[in-house]
Amino acid sequence: MAQIDKTVAVVMGSDSDMPVMKACIDKLKEFGIEPVVRIISAHRTPDIADEFAQAAAKNGIKVIIAAAGMAAHLAGAIAARTTLPIIGVPLAADQSPAGIDALLSTVQMPPGIPVASMAIGKAGAINAAIFAVQILALGDEKLAARLADFRKSQRQKVIEKDDNFANL
């Protein structure tokens, strides 16, 4: 039986973030990564966020994807407690200005505590997964090959769509 890769964690501030972050989780699974998935709030469970971040590396996690809306402090709070790469996914909340507040909270980190910030919402969630794969592929030839195949597949899909339009 193949070993399950648990090197990526996907952390959300709320279970209401799951509809968007499922796209991230699914994309990771396409690359053979079964992520650790957690609901941890930077504000409601700061002690758990702190414990998770500090123990992540020793638990085998190499990249953390953190998604949150509104104040969106989750990625930054985790980044402050670990030296692992953190990828932030800002999310739009019902009460937010289309997620711009979350984007600014995610991207405006102080010098020395970086968070790689993705786009707001589903596109950002998918790109976070791919970016995590790119990081891991630096030290994993099989994952690098899967990533190259993914890029070839994307290219081929565009060519096929172009051909369909050319035949109209």
Residue-wise pLDDT for 84-124, tens only, equals 999 999 999 888 799 999 999 999 999 999 999 999 999 99
Q: Where are the domains of the chain?
A: 8-141
Q: What is the pLDDT of residues 56-93, one digit of tens each?
A: 999 999 999 999 999 999 999 999 999 999 999 999 98
Task: Please list the helix, strand and coil fractions of the chain in percent, rounded to the nearest 5, in that order.
Answer: 50, 15, 35
Measured CA to CA in angstroms, residue 34 lies from 20, 39, 61, 109, 122 at distances of 17, 16, 11, 28, 19
In this predicted structure, what is the pLDDT of residue 4? Answer: 58
User: The pTM is what?
Assistant: 0.94
d(CA 87, CA 65): 5
Neighbouring residues of 68: CB distance < 8 A, sequence distance ≥ 6: 12, 13, 14, 17, 42, 74, 75, 88, 89, 90, 91, 102, 105, 106
- In order of 43, 58, 142, the CA distances from 23 in angstroms are 25, 27, 22
**Strand runs labelled E in 34-94:** 36-39, 63-69, 86-91
**Architecture of the domain made up of 8-141:** 3-Layer(aba) Sandwich (3.40)
Degrees (nearest 5) of the Cα angle 100, 101, 103? 60
CA distances from 144 to 30, 33, 76, 116, 138 (A): 13, 13, 28, 20, 7
